[in-house]
Amino acid sequence: MSKVIVHIDLNAFFVRCEEIKDPSLENKPVAVGHDGRGGIVSTCSYKAREYGVSSGMPMFHAKKLCPHLIIKPSDYHYYSALSDQFMAFVASYTKKIEIASIDECFADFTEVIKNEKDVPAFFRKIQKILYEKTKLKCSIGVASTKFLAKMASDYKKPMGLTIIRKSDIAPLLYPLDISKMFGIGKKTTPRLREIGINTIGDLALRCQKDDPILMSQLGKFYSTIKDWISGKGSDEVITTPWDPKSIGNSTTLKEDTNNKSTISTTFRYLSKEVSSRAMKENKLGHTIQIVVKESDFKVHNKSTTIDNPTNNENTIYDVAMRLYEKNFSNMTVRLLGVTLQNLIDAKDIAIQMSLFDYQQHEEESATKLLINDLNRKLKKKALIRASEVEKHDGNK
C-alpha cells in the first residue's frame, strides 16, 4: 500500500512576505536581495520574471532587464516568523512533517486523506485556508514518494496542485527538459546532453537499459536517480529536528584585497559569528575550515582537525589565521569564510571527559598486553633455545 506524500512549496516566498507587509507591491516587478557589490536576486515576483529576471541573477543585470524593478533588502527574521506559521499550519493536519527549507516541506497525508472521496478538492481547500489564514500562496504536489511529490509541486506554479500517480510519470514528467529534474544541475545537464539525454524521458529509457555510459557519468547517484524516476524513491518523511553538521559564515569583501588588517578583521568577525552560533546550538567542532575566493572566483578550502573540539572564538580565529597565513598570505581575495565542522553536542563532552579516564585505563591495559606479549615471545625464544641446547647436547 503506497503512502500519500505531499510536498508544499511557498510561491516566491520572500517577495510574498514583502507583499504581505506592503500590499501596494502586489502585481509589480519586485526582487528581494542586496543591491550593491556582489548583490544577487534571492527571489523575484512573477511580474519581474516576465522581464527575464530570475533568482540567482546579479542585481545589476536584473535592473538592466527591468529598469523599474523594486528592490527589497532581505529581512530573514521576518520571513522566518512567517515560515513558522506555515509549518505550524501543515503540522495541524499531520505531525509527520519534514521541513525541507524555509519555504517548503514534505508531509505524510496517508492517514489524513484515508476516507477522503475528493482528494483534489481536499488539497484545494488546504491551499485556500492557508491563504485566508496567512496570505501565503503555495503549490502542492501529491505522490507516493518524496521525489515525485517534489516534482509535482514544481509542475505548476503559483497556486498549483499536481497529483502524480505511477501511471502519470511518463505523460507528465517524461516530456520535461532534463534540467528540470531535481538533482541534475548546471554541470550535469550539459554532460547528459552530450550523451543524447535531453529530457527526463530520455533519462528514464537509458536507465531501463542500465546504459553503462550513463552509469559511469552518474556514479553512485545512478541507482538513486533510477529509483526516483521509476517511482521507487524514498517515501520516508523525516520528522527528527534539524541537527546541523557544520556551522559557517562567509562574506564578500567590499573590494578585492590582500590587505592584512582587513583580512584579519574579517576573520575575527567571521570567527565571532561562527562561535556564537555554535554556542547557541550547543555544538563544538573538531575541524575548522576556511574558504577563500580569489578575484577570478576560484575557490579554495583549507581545514585542520584539532584534538579538543571547540566553539571558542579565539581558538577558531587563531586556527583560521594560521591556515590563511600558511596558504594564501599573498593572494588577492574576494570572499572569506570560516566553518566549524565535525560537530558534536556540548552535552556529550561530559561523556568524552569520562572517556578520557577510560582511554587512560585502556592505554595502561594496552601496555600490559604489550609486556605480556613480549614476555610470551621471550619465553618462546627461551624454550626454543632450551630445545636447541637439548638437541645439541643429545647430538654430543
Partner DNA sequence: TCTGGGGTCCTAGGACCC
Binding flags for DNA, 96-125, as an x/- string (CB under 7 A): ----xxxxx---------------------
- Identify whether the C-beta of residue 217 lies closer than 8 Å to the C-beta of residue 195: yes
C-alpha cell at 35: 543591491
Residue where the block lists cell 621471550: 378
For residue 114, the minimal CB distance to DNA (Å) is 29
Q: Which is nearer to DNA, 64 or 361 (CB)?
A: 64
Cβ atoms < 10 Å from Cβ of 165 = 13
Q: Which is nearer to DNA, 110 or 200 (CB)?
A: 200
265 contacts DNA (rule: CB under 7 A): no
- One residue of 54, 189, 239, 315 binding DNA per CB under 7 A: 189
Pairing outcome for strands 138-143 and 5-10: antiparallel
Q: Which is nearer to DNA, 43 or 144 (CB)?
A: 43
In degrees rounded to 5, what are phi and psi of residue 392? -55, -45
187 contacts DNA (rule: CB under 7 A): yes
245 contacts DNA (rule: CB under 7 A): yes
Q: Which is nearer to DNA, 211 or 294 (CB)?
A: 294
Q: Which is nearer to DNA, 124 or 302 (CB)?
A: 302
- Identify whether the C-beta of residue 311 lies closer than 8 Å to the C-beta of residue 283: yes
- One residue of 28, 63, 157, 272 binding DNA per CB under 7 A: 63
- One residue of 21, 64, 368, 391 binding DNA per CB under 7 A: 64
158 contacts DNA (rule: CB under 7 A): no
Stretch that binds DNA, among 88-96, 157-165, 193-201, 285-293 (CB under 7 A): 285-293
Stretch that binds DNA, among 122-130, 176-184, 197-205, 353-361 (CB under 7 A): 176-184
- Identify whether the C-beta of residue 132 lies closer than 8 Å to the C-beta of residue 124: no
Cβ atoms < 10 Å from Cβ of 220 = 6
Strands in the chain per DSSP E: 5-10, 30-32, 43-44, 70-72, 97-101, 104-108, 138-143, 161-163, 246-257, 283-294, 299-310, 333-345
Residues from 25 through 44 that contact DNA (CB under 7 A): 34, 36-40, 42
Known active-site residue 104: yes
238 contacts DNA (rule: CB under 7 A): no
DSSP readout, 154-201?
Answer: HHSTTT-EEE--GGGIIIIITTSBGGGSTT--TTHHHHHHHTT--BHH
Catalytic residue among 18, 19, 98, 104: 104
In degrees rounded to 5, what are phi and psi of residue 31? -130, 140
Q: What is the rounded distance in angstroms from the CA atom of residue 326 to the CA atom of residue 234? A: 45
Q: Which is nearer to DNA, 250 or 257 (CB)?
A: 250
Binding site for DNA (CB under 7 A): 34, 36-40, 42, 55-56, 58-61, 63-64, 100-104, 150, 181-189, 219-221, 244-252, 273, 277, 286-287, 289, 297, 299-305, 334-335, 337, 339, 342
- Residue numbers annotated as active site: 104
